[in-house]
Amino acid sequence: MLYKKIAKPVLFRMDPEKAHHLMIDLMYTLGNVPGGRQTLKAMWGVGSYPELETEVVGIRFPNPVGLAAGLDKNGKAVPGFSSIGFGFMEVGTITPQPQEGNPLPRLFRLPEDGALINRMGFNNVGVEGMKRNLRSQGSRTIPLAINIGKNKSTPNEEAENDYRLCIQALYGYGDFFVVNISSPNTPDLRQLQHGDDLSRLLAAVKDEIRVQHAQFGGKEKPVLVKIAPDLTPEETEYTVATIVRSGVSGIIVSNTTIGRDGLAHPNRGEAGGLSGRPLTSKSTELIRSVYKLTEGNVPIIGSGGIFTAEDAYEKIRAGASLVEVYTALIYEGPPLLKQINQGLRKLLKKDGFKHISEAVGSEHRG
């Protein structure tokens, strides 16, 4: 109520990117002032429910609903976001060197469509800036993923060096890593999803993870790969086979789409990646395909157009072990997280499942 009645009308009168920065600054402040985290938890925190606590890729998650990459690009507001009910969160996409991204304006709302279009272009403070941000925040309260990419100026044939540099700099600051090869806003990045480029890149990433693990000790940190929703069935089959062969821990399905089917808002003509409601069924269908191709043996994080518990549950039944939100948080605000988690509990009970893991891929079992 507080968000929709007061905060959202103010934010939606602002330029979308200015509103974005204001939200990050507010979450940063509330996450760092005395009593701020407790206030956030009291207002929006999600309770602890054994049926929603789950283990995926060797990591314990207090609930299956996470924050997708792209909102807290620089890892500035992790304590704040960790206090409003997320079960995990991604920061980034981060690149080795700072970069400004694409020219303004580059973020657009499509309210009638429940969507956003962005062509940010990996604007971020670089690995040293993110390291400073994460170092100052103390111990993590939810699992943290670091989403890594390449600088725009780095040619694809040298991309593996950028991903290595990100892991070298940030290995000690995250719980798992996400390889972003599917943003539509960095020229030729999506080409890394195909052929020998992908094999070579993932081999380099896995090698660097092993090198850092040998130095840091503990458990080796998992790596997931984020794929685009715009792959053809043949490309999906080949890409998934390459990912499975690489030995990485999981797949995030999916990034934003370059498709524009069925949009009503005038901003539909803007270039960039589309997220939100128009992506709901497209990403769920891709989850279904990936689950079948991997025979349910590779964990999937489902992302794209999750606005309700039913949206999340459909992705879980299609094969996702965890889910992520972003655009819905902009439209619905922090109460979304409690609504999804409470709704998932009811849906599990309705279907006779005692634990969220029982629902994963259940539609394939008839």
DSSP 283-340: HHHHHHHHHHHTTT-S-EEEES---SHHHHHHHHHHT-SEEEESHHHHHH-THHHHHH
Q: Alpha carbon of 245 to those of 199, 202, 238: distances in Å?
A: 8, 10, 11
Among 27-41, 91-105, 171-185, 186-200, where is mean pLDDT lowest? 186-200
In this model, does residue 234 exceed pLDDT 80? yes
Catalytic machinery residues: 183
Which pLDDT score, from 0 to 100, does residue 193 have?
66
Tell me the average pLDDT of the chain. 95
Angle between helices 16-32 and 36-44 (to 10 degrees): 110
Amino acid identity for residue 227 in this structure: I
DSSP, residue by residue, 245-294: HHT-SEEEE---B---TT--SGGGGS-SEEEEGGGHHHHHHHHHHHHHHT
d(CA 356, CA 63) in angstroms, rounded, equals: 9
The runs of H, that is alpha helices, within the chain are 2, 8-11, 16-32, 36-44, 78-81, 126-135, 159-170, 195-216, 233-246, 280-293, 309-318, 327-332, 335-350, 356-359
Closest by Cα among 45, 50, 46 to 348? 50
Return the higher-pLDDT residue of 58 and 198: 58
**What's 57's DSSP letter?**
T
Q: What is the pTM of this model?
A: 0.96
pLDDT category of residue 183 using cuts at 50, 70 and 90: confident
Average pLDDT, stretch 264-273? 96
∠ CA 97-98-103, rounded to 5°: 130
Which pLDDT score, from 0 to 100, does residue 181 have?
84
Backbone dihedral angles phi then psi of residue 86, each to the nearest 5 degrees = -70, 145
Average pLDDT, stretch 292-304? 98
Query: Is there a cis peptide before residue 105, judged by omega within 30 degrees of 0?
Result: yes
Amino acid identity for residue 154 in this structure: T
pLDDT category of residue 294 using cuts at 50, 70 and 90: very high
Burial 144-179, CB ≥16 within 10 A → b, else e: bbbbbbbbbebeeeebbebbbbbbebbbebbbbbbb
257: left (phi over 0), alpha (psi -120 to 50) or beta: beta
pLDDT category of residue 187 using cuts at 50, 70 and 90: low
Q: Which domains does the chain have, with CATH numbers?
A: 2-365 (3.20.20.70)
